[in-house]
Amino acid sequence: MKLFRHGDLGHEKPGILAADGSLRDLSGHVADIGGDVLSDAGLAAVAKIDPMTLPLVAAGTRMGACVAGTGKFICIGLNYADHAAESGLAVPPEPVIFMKATSAICGPNDPIIIPRGSEKTDWEVELGVIIGTKCKYVTEADALAHVAGYCVSNDVSERAFQTERAGQWTKGKSCDNFGQIGPYLVTRDEVADPQALAMWLTVNGKEMQNGSTKTMVYGVAHVVAYLSQFMTLHPGDVISTGTPPGVGMGKKPPQYLRAGDVVELSIEGLGAQRQDVIADPA
């Protein structure tokens, strides 16, 4: 299934993509795409509903973040060897973990907002993993059973905030609208192998990233199992698993986003995003 959320920010409703490509409203059956709905039993109940019997979502309706109730937005850094190389850093001996504030989460086509004082706002197409059932100390063999599904994630980053100022990476990763996720939560039964997905990103129509999840250093099952050794993962938690090469920081010379740019990105089978880049109106 391809599940989504639609409507104004803070008032999103659940939806499902029908076989004919139409967007259908699920709010008569479930409250939202989150919580118990993400469990195997919850998803099985949704799967029994015929989407063609559901109301159509009005054309032009905003698409929201594809999951509700995210308590943790966890990111994995330097998880593609070729991206680590373009960053001038060694492949880490264990996954690099950092947190992105949940207030950064927004819809897949919501704008990228360049924060005040930024000169190095960058893009990162990533595979997002959405946890479906609580897990702690899970083994790698059992890890994927706790995944509800997958999504496209843009781990937008401000490189000067991230690497040129004191402290950790979080402040360069957590600005408003630095976490586009969606358009769909694609349930894990529709993703035969999360380590075999093509992914790409363009800026103003020019290809910047073209990679595949097959080149991850640490795959999805390893990452979920690894994280669960340090923290309990809960339904709705999102893990953004790293980016392939081609980020602006790695260009020669570096290239960063400016107001007026347009970013488009996609992962095979998971849908596409499009973002206008704007200056912070605040």
- What separation in angstroms does the CA of 145 have from each of 42, 69, 241? 14, 20, 17
Nearest to 76 by CA among 222, 195, 191, 208: 222
Question: pLDDT 10s per residue in the chain (282 long)?
Answer: 999 999 999 999 999 999 999 999 999 999 999 999 999 999 999 999 999 999 999 999 999 999 999 999 999 998 998 777 777 778 889 999 999 999 999 999 999 999 999 999 999 999 999 999 999 999 999 999 999 999 999 999 999 999 888 778 899 999 999 999 999 999 999 999 999 999 999 999 999 999 999 999 999 999 999 999 999 999 999 999 999 999 999 999 999 999 999 999 999 999 999 999 999 998
* pLDDT score recorded for residue 83: 79
Domains of the chain: 67-279 (3.90.850.10)
Dihedral sign from CA coordinates of 27, 176, 130, 56: positive
Distance CA 242, CA 125 (A): 8
d(CA 270, CA 181): 11
Residue 145 CB neighbours (<10 A): 14
- Cα separations in angstroms, 147 against 7, 186, 235: 25, 11, 9
Output phi, psi for 37, to 5 deg.
-60, -25
- pLDDT at site 87: 77
| Rounded CA separation 84/88 (Å) | 6
Contacts of 158 (CB under 8 A, 6+ apart): 115, 118, 120, 121, 122, 172, 173, 175, 178
Backbone angles phi, psi at 239, to 5 degrees: -115, 120
